[in-house]
């Protein structure tokens, strides 16, 4: 097969895998849109639990409700279909990888999905409830009534999910940097003090302006950094490229390598 035919066949395969991924996303989007009201209720639980007794969130207009539910359905479908999309990407690139590269790439993909889900779950179960309790406690001190718009709630929630999902990918980034040789595990250890400061700066930017929420991001971020150092060393040790047989044979045949006779040995 010529290079041009091979290139065309790769483009056809890429197109097919993109279509397969898109079809799954669209099917799941249709299902999620049908249940979008229920999904929104689940995602709004941190808000409902923080609202003053006898109050409910609102939509300020009908269009806001439609676009919010559409966004919720699409992002839910995208998250659910993420393993399938990554599998299609893996199936496309895997035939061109060496065995040692496969040993690195597959754990990298799996761990990236795992840490993304963990980051979003952590934000949902711990950060959002604490944030909204802080907001309403602060608002109640003014004596004013607070009416929460669900569209604004979802915009805020999406930003929190994105921020925590992204920051929880720190171990994956460390593994990639170490594997590519851009940094070493020793350099990562030496940068701990700067990481701690940076973690609190990031937490101050991404979280609500209360100390509890900032600690709830900064402390896990520091722990994830330490986990990333361990995982980077483990992955690098278990995904080394095999030595070139020609280079190994040349090294063994070199003078003084131990396999050749020493000068002055008896004949």
Q: Which two tokens stand for residue 187?
A: 């350099």
Look at residues 258, 254, 104, 245 and name the one whose alpha carbon lies nearest to residue 172. Answer: 104
Residues forming a β-bridge with 51: none
In 10 A of CB 128, how many CB atoms? 26
User: Worst-scoring range by mean pLDDT, 88-102, 110-124, 150-164, 237-251?
Assistant: 237-251
Q: How far apart are CA 180 and CA 207, in angstroms?
A: 32
Q: Rounded to an integer, what is the distance from CA 262 to the centroid of its chain?
A: 57
The answer to whether residue 254 scores a pLDDT higher than 70 is no
Q: What are the domain boundaries of the chain?
A: 3-241
pLDDT at 264: 45
Rounded mean pLDDT, 252-263: 48
Contact 196/211 with Cβ under 8 angstroms?
no
The pLDDT-based confidence of 240 (bands split at 50, 70, 90) is low
pLDDT at 134 over 90: no
> How far is the CA of 65 from the CAs of 36, 73, 252, in angstroms?
11, 12, 73
d(CA 116, CA 221): 13
* pLDDT for position 252: 54
Under the banding of pLDDT at 50, 70 and 90, the label for residue 1 is low
Provide the H-helix boundaries in 141-210: 150-167, 170-179, 185-190, 192-206
């Amino acid at each position: 097969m010529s290079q041009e035919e091979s290139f065309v066949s790769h483009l056809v395969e890429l197109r097919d895998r993109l279509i397969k991924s898109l079809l799954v996303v669209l099917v799941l989007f249709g299902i999620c849109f049908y249940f979008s009201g229920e999904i929104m209720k689940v995602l709004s639980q941190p808000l409902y639990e923080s609202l003053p007794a006898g109050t409910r969130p609102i939509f300020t207009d009908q269009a806001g409700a439609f676009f919010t539910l559409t966004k919720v359905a699409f992002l839910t479908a995208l998250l659910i279909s993420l393993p399938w999309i990554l599998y299609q990407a893996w199936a496309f690139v895997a035939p061109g990888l060496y065995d040692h590269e496969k040993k690195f790439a597959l754990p990298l993909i799996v761990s990236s999905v795992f840490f993304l889900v963990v980051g979003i779950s952590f934000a949902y179960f711990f950060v959002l409830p604490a944030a909204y309790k802080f907001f309403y406690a602060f608002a109640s001190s003014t004596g004013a009534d607070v009416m929460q718009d669900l569209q604004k709630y979802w915009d805020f929630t999406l930003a929190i999910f994105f921020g925590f999902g992204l920051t929880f990918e720190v171990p994956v980034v460390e593994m990639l940097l170490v594997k590519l040789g851009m940094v070493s595990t020793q350099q990562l250890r030496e940068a701990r003090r700067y990481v701690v400061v940076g973690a609190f700066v990031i937490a101050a930017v991404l979280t609500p302006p209360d100390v509890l929420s900032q600690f709830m991001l900064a402390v896990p971020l520091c722990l994830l950094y330490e986990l990333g150092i361990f995982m980077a060393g483990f992955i690098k040790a278990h995904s080394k490229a095999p030595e070139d047989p020609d280079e190994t044979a040349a090294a063994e045949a070199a003078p003084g390598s131990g396999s050749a006779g020493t000068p002055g040995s008896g004949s």
